[in-house]
Amino acid sequence: MIEKKPIIFLLLATLTILVGTVITMVLPFRWINDPKLAIASVKPYTPLQLEGRDIYIREGCNNCHTQTVRPLLSDTERYGEYSKSGEFVYDQPFLWGSRRNGPDLARIGGKYPDAWHVKHMKDPRSMVPRSNMPSYDFLNRPLDTSLSEKKMKALKFPYTPADIQALQGKSEMDAIIAYMQKVGNDIPWRKTGKAEVLGELKNPFQGNMSVLPEGQKLYAEHCAQCHGIELKGEVGPDLRDLDQPDAKVFTSVYGGIAAGGMPSFGDTLGKERTWKVVTYLKSVHRK
């Protein structure tokens, strides 16, 4: 029996481990680093973004948030297009993660405006009522830039003296938000993943006052964090004088406004509930 021959057993065990290591950890890099997988639109981090990434790691954000959308329907429907290897070419170390105490952040860049992130970092439950994330209001302190240039040189990222000079006066909050606005935003996935509206855009609840309580409740749950419970605006604009056609308001809510940092609510609300929100908004305007 082989177990009675320890030298042979040790050699075979070592060989097996080596073969397994080569197959699972060495050979894949032949394909992962294939130049054909490079994404031209993915750019290196700026000094401010790199500082923000270091703060993100320092505060342990990667312990609760993953940064990789798996090619599974449950992931892509919630977070957006699945992650590509070429997106992480400048990540050292990568922050894919494997545990989601909080939502995945691989597509957080450009989803919300900077003001949303500031408010969320200061008081997470003001934006996401069920969040168990702690407050990071203490990040409103000066950014330490003493090593910024050395970091850029070490990673061989392009920069100019003006880029380093621009860090003066920045806070750690500015840096981490700049980083998050870049994550997953180098590829134009929002254009291809945007919720499309099919059929005629006619409000089925126009003039139907019975849907206003539900519309108001949906607004309070999904919209008030940015526009205020009284529609006076804060992160988002004032909605009390929303003098726009129902169809245009529906398109904004259902498909989002990329330029304004407003996410799409089409997948969350669906057409019927979106129309109820529109009916509520327009009823406020008519008062």
Give every CB contact of residue 204 below 8 A, 6+ residues apart in sequence: 272, 275
Q: What is the pLDDT of residue 191?
A: 66
Give every CB contact of residue 28 below 8 A, 6+ residues apart in sequence: none
Closest residue by Cα to residue 52 from 160, 158, 175: 175
Burial of 283 (0-12, 13-18, 19+ CB in 10 A): middle
Q: What is the pLDDT of residue 194?
A: 59
pTM of the prediction?
Answer: 0.81
Q: What is the pLDDT of residue 114?
A: 94
DSSP letter assigned to residue 93: S
To 10 degrees, the CA torsion angle through 119, 122, 123, 124?
80
Q: What is the CA radius of gyration of the chain?
A: 24
Q: What is the pLDDT of residue 287?
A: 58
Q: What is the pLDDT of residue 24?
A: 83
* DSSP assignment of 194-230: PPPP-S----TTTT-GGGHHHHHHHHHHHTHHHH-TT
DSSP letter assigned to residue 169: T
Q: Is 83 left (phi over 0), alpha (psi -120 to 50) or beta?
A: beta
Between CA 63 and CA 79 the distance in angstroms is 18
Between CA 69 and CA 99 the distance in angstroms is 12
How far, rounded to the nearest angstrom, does the alpha carbon of residue 70 sit from its chain's CA centroid?
14
Per-residue pLDDT of the chain (287 residues; tens, 9 = 90+): 667 778 888 898 999 999 998 888 777 766 666 667 778 899 999 999 999 999 999 999 999 999 999 999 989 888 888 998 889 989 989 999 888 999 999 999 988 999 999 999 999 999 988 899 999 999 999 999 999 999 999 999 999 999 999 999 999 999 999 999 999 999 887 766 555 666 678 999 988 999 999 999 999 999 999 999 999 988 989 998 888 899 999 999 998 887 778 888 888 898 999 999 999 998 886 55
Between CA 226 and CA 248 the distance in angstroms is 19
Alpha helices in the chain (DSSP H): 6-21, 28-32, 47-58, 73-79, 114-122, 124-127, 148-155, 161-165, 172-182, 189-193, 212-222, 224-227, 246-255, 266-286
- Is residue 72 within 8 A of residue 179, CB to CB? The reply is no
